[in-house]
Amino acid sequence: MPLFCRVSPALVFLLIFLLATAVQLAVWWGVFARLAFYRPFIPKNLEKKPPCSVLLCARNAAPLLRRNLGAILEQDYPDFEVLVVDDASTDDTAAVLAFFQKKYPRLRSIRLSEKNLPGKKAALARGIAETRHQLLVFTDADCRPAGPHWLKEMTRAFADPRVEIVLGYGPVQPEPGFLNRWATYETIVTALQYGGFALAGMPYMGVGRNLAWRKPLFERVGGFASHERLASGDDDLLVNAAATPGNTVLCFAPKAFVFSPAKSDWQSWLRQKRRHLSTGTSYRPLHRLVLGATALSQVLHYGLGIGLLLAGFGTEYVLGGYFLRQSTVWLLGGRICTLWGERRLVPWLPALDALMGLYYALFVPFTLINRGKTLNPWT
């Protein structure tokens, strides 16, 4: 009888568990650890601060603009404009913008009278065409910079002419409740992935609430033409098409954070995540493969490990694998949470990490199966 016929299924599952655990340890130590010990990119000629345009789109966002626009307009930066595209709003957005324009001459606004495409890509494309400067910084109406030095930090790397894209971080505004803790952790994991892989030489996405790039980049990749019918992807798909190891840097300094509110209920959060995940199917094949393997290895690490423990097979190996990975999560994850001002999450890391495996196992496949549905990015 051939040898492979005599190998028990339990042994196969144990070997797969060990392989998945090894992949997870490699990702944490080889990719995520780069952010745990990250030193920011500091180019020469820091005194040169080129003029820049801050661009955001707003649809029925009057309360959000009242709350956040002032912090954007009052940045400590010598020469910048803020351009707000009113994407066919039906509330008081236009009146709020007019009020701010009386006080801040650097604020400009454009109003679109109707929407012909899903999402905000048409509004963004119009805004990009109307910006006065070649350096563009993006955020959203519901976002608020950490302080007056956000713009200075996000544009610092552009002193190097080779830099075309700067990836920023947009944490969730801390609030009481488990949903907020979970949303914060999921946001951190997302940042660990796109930030860590960028540092490892594979930049693949950025977040539109805190992102900067040079204007010529937009025309070079054909704008949003290749995915204009998708409701989302105005940020990550553009970065996915244009980012290279040589033209992309990170700006994860706390002064450059841009905070956004977490969703107030699970249904809203799930709808938001479905929209974000739906664009991942349009990433480059290598990026989809690497991200899929990362998620699958975490699912197998937990799922097979629990099954093996219940079966009483390879218990010492499973417990050893869990110990190594949990120690890694505590060490690196705890350091990152502390550096990013989220020390409150450290006691929750084991539970949050296990829930992330469940999230990958259940929610992500469901979203990919239903990816054909139109998802509204304004919800």
- Asked, for residue 184, whether it belongs to a domain, the answer is yes
DSSP letter string, 75-88: -S-SSEEEEEEEES
- Asked, for residue 249, whether it belongs to a domain, the answer is yes
Query: Are residue 33 and residue 126 in the same domain, yes or no?
Result: no
pLDDT of residue 201: 95
CA torsion 26→31→33→37, rounded to 10°?
150
Q: Does position 258 have pLDDT exceeding 90, yes or no?
A: yes
C-beta of residue 191 within 8 angstroms of C-beta of residue 339:
no
Which of 211, 235, 266 terminates a domain? The answer is 266
Query: Are residue 82 and residue 201 in the same domain, yes or no?
Result: yes
- Reported as a single tens digit per residue, the pLDDT across 89-130 is 999 999 999 999 999 999 999 999 877 666 788 889 899 999
* DSSP at 346: G
Cα 158 to the chain's mean position, in Å?
Answer: 21
- Asked, for residue 44, whether it belongs to a domain, the answer is no
Contacts of 338 (CB under 8 A, 6+ apart): 346
Q: What percent of the chain has pLDDT over 90?
A: 69
- Asked, for residue 24, whether it belongs to a domain, the answer is yes
Burial level of 170, CB count in 10 A (0-12/13-18/19+)? buried
Give the global pTM.
Answer: 0.90
| CATH number assigned to the domain comprising residue 101 | 3.90.550.10
Query: Are residue 142 and residue 101 in the same domain, yes or no?
Result: yes
State the CB neighbour count (10 A cutoff) for residue 175. 13
Query: Residue 15 is part of which domain span?
Result: 3-37+286-369
Total structural domains in the chain?
A: 2
Higher-scoring residue by pLDDT: 351, 118: 351
Torsion 255-258-262-267 (CA) sign: negative
